[in-house]
Amino acid sequence: MILKIANTKEKSGGNVLAADIGATKTNMSVFHWDGEKFSADKEATYKTKSFANINALITEFTGAGEIPPIICMAIAGPVQKNKVTLTNVNWQMDGEEIAKKLKRQVVMINDLEAVGYGLAVLNDKDVHVLHKGEKNSEGNVAIIAPGTGLGEAGLYFNKDGYHPFATEGGHSSFAPQAEIDIELYRHLARKFGHVSWERIVSGPGICNIYDFLVQVKEREEPSWIKEKMLSHDKASVISENITECHVCQETIEMFIRYLAEESANLILKFKATGGVFIGGGIVPHLVSIIHEDYFLKQFSNFGRLKNLLQLIPVNIILNSKAALLGAAYFGLRRA
């Protein structure tokens, strides 16, 4: 257990269908809790946009099999009163309607809030310590997760433990610092109107930075990179070729800088002296190239609060099922 979650009921055992629903993919699993740990009885991954709605996806997953009594879904979007409209997928979901159709208890939470609950069942091997900082077992915690979008959440601390909560902070306005940031902002403002942190700290954000460097700053784009992008995921091509392609390297360096800056913004706004956990599908693949000194320089470059930020632990979540496990934990303990 990484963190102790407050106000959860102890369960000696039980089964739950957990789902982690993102814009690109959906992970689903039937978990069994034996009182100490989860084990997956069945699991699968699907392309979210291949299905018209969540009911079709659940039917595909369960087939003719028995559906557990509790379904908990972690969703990339603002959940309110057990309802949500996904931010990057044209789905509207109503937990009560799904429950009536399936005759099961259905609860929904934000996917980053689920990651917060997942910290209750992860262990040390699931986390890479980027910056040890000064461990504070009684401080608030921040979570940031670049993927198809940019998820952000927090856990506030009191004497009972940690309380996860969702935010939509990834959609707050990008704040350029250097001259090149201002140029990037102007470029993206012409394209999108409002420029959020999600426009640069995400998979599509990596592509936005790359296109800016090539189209506006006129960086040289190798023909083999351009050709490779025609048949492969563009953001993956960029991140996998930083040693062979200068513009790819510059793109990822800018991405890491912006990630560090927005992580620090969360720390200051939440007073998250307990640390920051970086999740999502991108950063775990960049662990070998994210250098502590470079990240910490950008992370702590906040004037009078520099000394405070240098004390903050920075951790990268390596377990790709953190949100799925968190949904299972929430479903069994809170439903």
Taking a C-beta distance cutoff of 8 angstroms, is the pair 165, 190 a contact? no
- pLDDT of the residue at 12: 65
Q: Which of 60-64, 102-106, 239-243 is predicted with the least confidence, judged by mean pLDDT?
A: 60-64
Tens-place pLDDT, residues 18-29: 999 988 899 999
pLDDT digits (tens, 9 = 90+) for 102-157: 999 999 999 999 999 999 999 999 999 999 999 877 899 999 999 999 999 999 99
- pLDDT of 335: 60
pLDDT exceeding 90 applies to what percent of the chain?
81
What would the mean pLDDT of 302-325 be, rounded to a whole number? 96
Residue 309 identity (one-letter amino acid): L
What average pLDDT does the segment 181-191 reach? 98
Is a pLDDT exceeding 70 seen at residue 10?
Answer: no
154: left (phi over 0), alpha (psi -120 to 50) or beta: beta
Question: What residue ranges define each of the domains in the chain, with the CATH number in brackets?
Answer: 14-119+321-334 (3.30.420.40), 126-318 (3.40.367.20)
C-alpha dist (Å) from residue 4 to 75, 126, 145, 275:
23, 16, 21, 14
Tell me if 100 sits within 8 A of 160, measured CB to CB.
Answer: no
For 331, residues 6+ apart whose C-beta sits below 8 A from its C-beta are 16, 18, 70, 71, 72, 107
CA-CA-CA-CA torsion for 223, 225, 229, 232, nearest 10 degrees?
140
pLDDT reading at 37 higher than 80: yes
Beta-carbon count within 10 A of 101 CB: 11
The residue that leads in pLDDT, 163 or 88, is 163
Cα distance between residue 331 and residue 72, in whole Å: 5
Decide: 149 and 88 in contact? Cβ < 8 Å: yes
What are 273's two structure tokens? 């002296």
